[in-house]
Amino acid sequence: MSKKDSEYLINRKDNQYEVVIGLEVHAQVLSESKLFSTSATKFGAEPNTQVSLVDAAFPGMLPVINEFCVKQAIKTGIGLNAKINKRSVFDRKNYFYADLPQGYQISQFKDPIVGEGKVILDMPNGQKDVGIERLHLEQDAGKSIHDLDPQNTFVDLNRSGVALMEIVSKPDLRSPDEVNAYIKKLRSIMRYLGTCDGNMQEGSLRADVNVSVRLKGSKDFGTRCEIKNVNSIKFMQMAIEYEANRQVDLIEEGKTIDQETRLFDTKKNETRSMRSKEDAHDYRYFPDPDLLPLEVSEKFIEELKNDIPELPDDKKKRFIEEFKLSSYEANILVSDIATAKYFEEVIAKMGKNKDIKLAVNWITGELFAILNSKGLEISQSPVSAKNFAILINLIKNGTISGKIAKTVFELMIDGDKDPQKIVEEKGLKQQSDPKALEALIDKIINDNREKAIEYKQGKEKLFGFFVGQAMKASGGKANPQLINEILKKKL
């Protein structure tokens, strides 16, 4: 299945280097409460207002798993075509930090809840499979705030204990473009599933990026560096580009690459060393004795499977088959669940005699342009799917021309107005009454006798002149097709 990787190579003298990338994506589970406590998870709340005794690690407090978060992780695993492990184990990852109240993070180390899976990317030169190594559940830490006071660090524990899914890819990615496609695909799948809102500004989705380079054609992996906690696709791409080139330069200079953890400085657009392998923490992982191994039954998994909506890949396939869309069009419509939903609603409201192609063109053209210029998501579209469908039908059945439709569309935006009413009120209805048009054309031919004679003598270019006159006389509302037919007959 997998086509050739999109060629992203770094050239130096005679050598061509390939970049090998693997991602550890941290996706915040969409849930009302935290992974092991009942505190709320709302973003942007006042500091330390969503903290329970468990989150703040008070003596004698015990974690209790949130079943909903487990369901969300399993659903995501299903969406990633992955193996769901019926038995998984929560471990403690021990380290000291002011915003880690327990002195350990509860995570899954040896036995994650989700095993190997696969994500399909649509790249310009074909499809590409990216392997998923695993998905595990873990707690988020709190937040240390260093810039509020010159002497002290403040700690906000609202995020402490919030459920994260760490999704680890295999080192299958080969370019910043593929990383872009991969993150967008993951986000799209999770949004379809409702398991993560994918909001990168709010930190709901962030990634550690593992980068190594090797000579093109080599089968061995180079030494990798891990770039920690990058929170936008653009920064990931910039960091990869910088890091890959840094590594190639080192190799070209005959130096070796140290396996280390690096940070991406977004202001300087460079990565810099955070800690070497030797300084790596010893997290002293061991199974959390406060929690029993997590066991889920086949039935539990099956019930979740029945609950999985149609996912982007299947939806795309169906759009192509059912609506005869091109792969390109289908991709655009399914990548965001809200777009797909809007599109399907429009199709449904258009009724029997529908022009799907026209609807697609209008969604990806006029509608996207408006949303873009207003900075809105499609879910906030000022034109409802219902009115949008009416508009497309008005074009399709000849009530208005495409040109008039654009005028109508602009008027619809303000308060989601019914296009039918706009057409009636503004008198924009296309003139399709042959008798009226005939009279109108007769008058034009009468007024332009000489030109009509010239046309008959063979000056065919003048046909356009007559069409123009007719349209002008009708105020743009005349049905162009009818005008053509009548003119041909009369001239």
Partner 1 sequence: MSDITKQSLTELVENIKNKKLSSRDVTKAFIDRSEKSEKLNAYITNDFTSALDKAKKFDQKPNFDLKLPGIPIAVKDLFCTKNIKTTAGSKILNNFVPTYESTVTENIWNEGAILLGKLNCDEFAMGSSNETSFFGNVQSPIDRNLVPGGSSGGSASAVAGQLSPVTIGTDTGGSIRQPASFTGIVGLKPTYGSCSRYGIVAFASSLDQAGPIAQNVKDCALLHEVISSYDPKDSTSIDFKRNHYSKELINNIKGKKIGIPKEYRVDGMPNEIEDLWQKGIQYIKDCGAVTIDISLPNTSYALPTYYIVAPAEASSNLARYDGVKYGFRAKGENLIDMYEKTRSEGFGAEVQRRIMIGTYVLSSGYYDAYYLKAQKVRKLIKNDFDEAYKKVDAILTPSTPSSAFKIGEKTNDPISMYLNDIFTVPANLAGLPGISIPAGHDTKGYPLGLQIIGKAFDEQNILNIAYAMEEKINFKNRITDWWIK
| Positions that interact with partner 1 (CB under 8 A) | 53, 56-65, 92, 94, 96-98, 101-104, 153, 155, 282, 284-286, 289-292
With respect to partner 1, which residue has the nearer C-beta, 284 or 403?
284
Phi and psi dihedrals of 470, rounded to 5? -65, -45
Q: Give the span between the Cα atoms of 197 and 187, in whole angstroms.
A: 8
CB atoms within 10 A of CB 153: 12
With respect to partner 1, which residue has the nearer C-beta, 64 or 376?
64
With respect to partner 1, which residue has the nearer C-beta, 117 or 142?
142
With respect to partner 1, which residue has the nearer C-beta, 60 or 217?
60
Smallest gap from residue 135 Cβ to partner 1 (A): 22
CB 216 within 8 A of CB 16: yes
With respect to partner 1, which residue has the nearer C-beta, 254 or 289?
289
Select from 122, 117, 118, 183 the least CA-distant residue to 320: 122
Q: Give the span between the Cα atoms of 304 and 294, in whole angstroms.
A: 16
CB 157 within 8 A of CB 99: yes
Smallest gap from residue 209 Cβ to partner 1 (A): 24
Q: Give the span between the Cα atoms of 365 and 468, in whole angstroms.
A: 26
Smallest gap from residue 259 Cβ to partner 1 (A): 16
Smallest gap from residue 164 Cβ to partner 1 (A): 20
Smallest gap from residue 99 Cβ to partner 1 (A): 9
Smallest gap from residue 201 Cβ to partner 1 (A): 29
Select from 302, 300, 332, 305 the least CA-distant residue to 316: 332
With respect to partner 1, which residue has the nearer C-beta, 98 or 348?
98
Smallest gap from residue 283 Cβ to partner 1 (A): 8
Chain Cα centroid distance, residue 301: 26
Smallest gap from residue 92 Cβ to partner 1 (A): 5
3-state secondary structure the chain: CCCCCCCCEEEECCEEEEEEEEEEEEEECCCCECCCCCCECCCCCCCCCCCCCCCCCCCCCCCCCCHHHHHHHHHHHHHCCCCECCEECCEEEECCCCCCCCCEEEECCCCCCECCEEEEEEECCEEEEEEEEEEEEEECCCEEECCCCCCCCEEECCCCCCEEEEEEECCCECCHHHHHHHHHHHHHHHHHHCCCCCCCCCCCEEEEEEEEEEECCCCCCCCCEEEEEECCHHHHHHHHHHHHHHHHHHHHCCCCCCCEEEEEECCCCEEEEEEECCCCCCCCCEECCCCCCEECCHHHHHHHHHCCCCCHHHHHHHHHHHHCCCHHHHHHHHCCHHHHHHHHHHHHHHCCCCCHHHHHHHHHHHHHHHHHHHCCCHHHCCCCHHHHHHHHHHHHCCCCCHHHHHHHHHHHHCCCCCHHHHHHHHCCCCECCHHHHHHHHHHHHHHCHHHHHHHHCCCCCHHHHHHHHHHHHCCCCECHHHHHHHHHHHC
With respect to partner 1, which residue has the nearer C-beta, 56 or 391?
56
Smallest gap from residue 105 Cβ to partner 1 (A): 11
Smallest gap from residue 281 Cβ to partner 1 (A): 10
With respect to partner 1, which residue has the nearer C-beta, 53 or 369?
53
Smallest gap from residue 159 Cβ to partner 1 (A): 15
With respect to partner 1, which residue has the nearer C-beta, 97 or 328?
97
Smallest gap from residue 279 Cβ to partner 1 (A): 14
With respect to partner 1, which residue has the nearer C-beta, 36 or 264?
36
Smallest gap from residue 102 Cβ to partner 1 (A): 5
With respect to partner 1, which residue has the nearer C-beta, 159 or 191?
159
With respect to partner 1, which residue has the nearer C-beta, 92 or 134?
92
With respect to partner 1, which residue has the nearer C-beta, 98 or 453?
98
